[in-house]
């Protein structure tokens, strides 16, 4: 049987709409407690969240469910998703839970899990949790109830971990950075990481109010960051998303540098500086320019399904240490187990420091192919094999004549269909993408 609730990145949706409701989340906590119980009928689960106003509500609900199942809970408060993965490992916990909808607006929220090794849960464990959701909650005897406590030094532990991914004497002295935390989970930690390494840090998006997360800021909207980099003559800008697992950067000329370009920079640095890059895992959405650039570096490249869990699966299957998505999920598997925006930014800064080149100069070896993506909002997922859609796609592929790609993909986290067209001519790519999007919209509304 397929999964009913878990998607590519946990369970996500609009707050107050099933399953993102208090009663469901409490039962989810109880179900997870049942699955993760160890010998003696107890387990230890970490719970962290981003800065959404609904996080308090769901934190309490999860806590109640886990305790009812006999599980102990360590509450981390607002912490980046990759920090929770790291702390789950270091605390030797059975699992870590993140309350976050990542780059989505504040009206959404979600729940995602990490296993004790810091990796996303395998499918069979998610299915086991879903099986318990069909049972009624049975509260443990009072003597067997779990306990909860707050971890007061979680932020400091993660800051030290991030710094520890670099050589001991690495310094950012003399570097000016603008860091946009998207009013999200990194607001307490990211500026400290860069400041403690010696950088001059100009902060943006560090005043969360529960509702401004990802609102006109962060990795999904870099306009404010681009302007600030130019205004302050900073060396570069760093844009993180609401839960800190994505990063997009801005060079000193004010131009955004996406995940594909950051992957290229890290891979090139490693390949040419005594750290051979065994291979890079991208996704179906990765720009063809990245694939060509990897070929020029003689670095193997593969495409996984969209979603960092699939990128990580591809990396682990091949024994590779580097992968990511154009959206900014960058996984450095030699130092961490999941996408980490701060760690990825530090890897790029190391490449800059040791090469003596600017971010603008480092990205020049990769030429991106023009790519347009149109998001089509849908109430229900349409048949993407429908004759009307297939006909328009076939015509687009004929027009591209083998010098581009067409990809239609339902989002795993939002009710939209992503239409991507890649080719050598910008205007042609935009025209074809809009034609296909209109066809998808017609079929979806029929």
Phi, psi of 146 (to 5 degrees): -75, 175
Burial of 38 (0-12, 13-18, 19+ CB in 10 A): exposed
Residue 396 in tokens: 């687009």
**Among candidates 355, 335, 354, 353, which has minimal Cα distance to 344?**
335
- Distance between CA 9 and CA 437 in Å, rounded? 25
Phi, psi of 389 (to 5 degrees): -75, -45
User: Which H/E stretch holds residue 375?
Assistant: strand 371-377
Beta-bridge partner residues of 377: 416
Chain Cα centroid distance, residue 123: 19
Give the pairing type, strands 95-99 and 11-14: unpaired
> Which is catalytic among the residues 54, 100, 102, 327?
102
Residue 415 in tokens: 């009710």
- Distance between CA 130 and CA 148 in Å, rounded? 24
Outline where DSSP puts E strands in 219-339.
236-240, 247-250, 256-257, 280-283, 301-304, 322-324, 330-332
- Distance between CA 309 and CA 170 in Å, rounded? 31
Examine the residue annotation and report whether 102 is marked as an active-site residue of this protein: yes
With tokens 């935390």, the residue in question is 181
Burial of 379 (0-12, 13-18, 19+ CB in 10 A): exposed
Chain Cα centroid distance, residue 205: 18
Catalytic residues: 102
């Amino acid at each position: 049987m397929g999964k009913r609730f878990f998607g590519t990145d946990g369970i996500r949706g609009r707050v107050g709409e099933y399953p993102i409701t208090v009663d469901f989340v409490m039962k989810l906590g109880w179900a997870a407690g049942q699955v993760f119980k160890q010998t003696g009928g107890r387990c230890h689960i970490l719970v962290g969240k981003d800065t959404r106003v609904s996080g308090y509500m769901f934190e309490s609900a999860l806590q109640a469910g886990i305790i009812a199942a006999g599980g102990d809970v360590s509450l981390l408060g607002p912490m980046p998703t990759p920090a929770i993965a790291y702390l789950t490992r270091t605390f030797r916990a059975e699992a870590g839970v993140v309350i976050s909808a990542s780059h989505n607006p504040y009206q959404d929220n979600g729940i995602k899990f990490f296993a004790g090794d810091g990796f996303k849960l395998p499918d069979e464990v998610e299915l086991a949790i879903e099986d318990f959701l069909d049972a009624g909650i049975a509260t443990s005897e009072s003597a067997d109830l779990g306990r909860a406590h707050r971890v007061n030094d979680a932020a400091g532990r993660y800051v030290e971990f991030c710094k520890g991914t670099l050589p001991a004497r690495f310094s950012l002295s003399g570097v000016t950075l603008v860091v946009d935390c998207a009013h999200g989970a990194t607001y307490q930690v990211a500026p400290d990481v860069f400041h403690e390494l010696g950088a001059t840090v100009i902060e943006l998006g560090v005043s969360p109010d529960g509702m401004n997360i990802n609102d006109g800021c962060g990795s999904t909207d870099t306009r404010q960051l681009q302007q600030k980099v130019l205004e302050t003559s900073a060396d570069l800008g760093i844009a993180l998303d609401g839960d800190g697992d994505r990063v997009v950067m801005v060079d000193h000329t004010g131009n955004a540098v996406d995940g594909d370009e950051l992957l290229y920079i890290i891979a090139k640095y490693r390949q040419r500086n005594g750290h051979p890059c065994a291979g890079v895992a991208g996704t179906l959405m990765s720009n063809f320019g990245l694939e060509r650039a990897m070929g020029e570096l003689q670095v193997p490249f593969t495409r996984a399904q969209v979603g960092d869990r699939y990128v990580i699966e591809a990396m682990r299957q091949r024994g590779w240490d580097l992968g990511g998505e154009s959206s900014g999920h960058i996984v450095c598997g030699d130092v961490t187990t999941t996408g980490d925006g701060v760690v990825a930014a530090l890897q790029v800064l190391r490449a800059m420091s040791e090469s003596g080149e600017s971010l603008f100069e480092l990205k020049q070896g990769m030429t991106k192919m023009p790519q347009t993506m149109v998001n089509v909002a849908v109430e229900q997922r349409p048949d993407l094999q429908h004759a009307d859609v297939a006909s328009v796609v076939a015509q687009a592929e004929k027009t591209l004549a083998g010098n581009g790609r067409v990809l239609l993909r339902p989002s795993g986290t939002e009710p939209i269909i992503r239409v991507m067209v890649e080719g050598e001519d910008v205007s042609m790519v935009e025209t074809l993408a809009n034609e296909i999007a209109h066809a998808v919209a017609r079929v979806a509304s029929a």
